[in-house]
């Protein structure tokens, strides 16, 4: 598995953590949900150091070529390459006990939006839950995408 990490110090740029959150919430999420081999992308912010970035976990040691990935919105908005960009080999992974069916659309960027609590279906293999469970979004289940809040 491959891990890519990139972040920017936002001081001296036209962006703030809040403006990056707004862009993530309004324009970025859907682009990355269809990227082959991407297991997880976590966007992060550091208020104290005024940093914004992302961590991407890929299923294999390879990722699609850059020209096959969605445009780098942060690069375009901030106006320069990341201050830190690194690639690592994932030496191991662990999933702890949790109550979340999906990690989709969680975090402050989506707090208070209609995407918070988006319904998903979890297809569990016959031998019980585990790393082979498949999570399907409303769209993959044939439901029309909506921005209605679920509780």
pLDDT, one tens digit per residue, over 18-61 is 999 998 887 777 788 889 999 999 999 999 999 999 999 999 99
Q: In whole angstroms, give the CA distance from residue 125 to residue 134.
A: 8
Look at residue 105 and tell me whether its pLDDT is greater than 80: no
- Single pTM value for the model: 0.68
Q: Where are the domains of the chain?
A: 2-89, 100-151
Q: In whole angstroms, give the CA distance from residue 66 to residue 69.
A: 5
Look at residue 75 and tell me whether its pLDDT is greater than 60: yes
What topology does CATH give the domain 2-89? Answer: Alpha-Beta Plaits (3.30.70)
pLDDT, one tens digit per residue, over 126-143 is 444 444 434 444 344 444
């Amino acid at each position: 598995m491959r891990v890519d990490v990139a972040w920017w110090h936002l001081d001296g740029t036209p962006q703030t953590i809040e403006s990056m959150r707004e862009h993530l919430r309004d324009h970025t999420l859907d682009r990355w949900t269809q990227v082959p081999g991407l297991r997880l992308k976590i966007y992060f912010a550091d208020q104290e150091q005024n940093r914004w970035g992302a961590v991407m976990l890929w299923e294999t040691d390879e990722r699609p070529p850059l020209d096959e990935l969605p445009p780098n919105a942060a690069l375009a908005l901030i106006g320069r390459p990341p201050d830190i960009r690194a690639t690592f080999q994932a030496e191991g992974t662990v999933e702890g006990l949790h109550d979340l069916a999906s990690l989709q659309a969680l975090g402050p960027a989506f707090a208070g939006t209609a995407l918070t609590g988006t319904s998903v279906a979890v297809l569990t293999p016959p031998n019980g839950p585990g790393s082979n469970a498949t999570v399907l979004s409303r769209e993959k289940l044939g439901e029309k995408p909506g921005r209605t809040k679920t509780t």
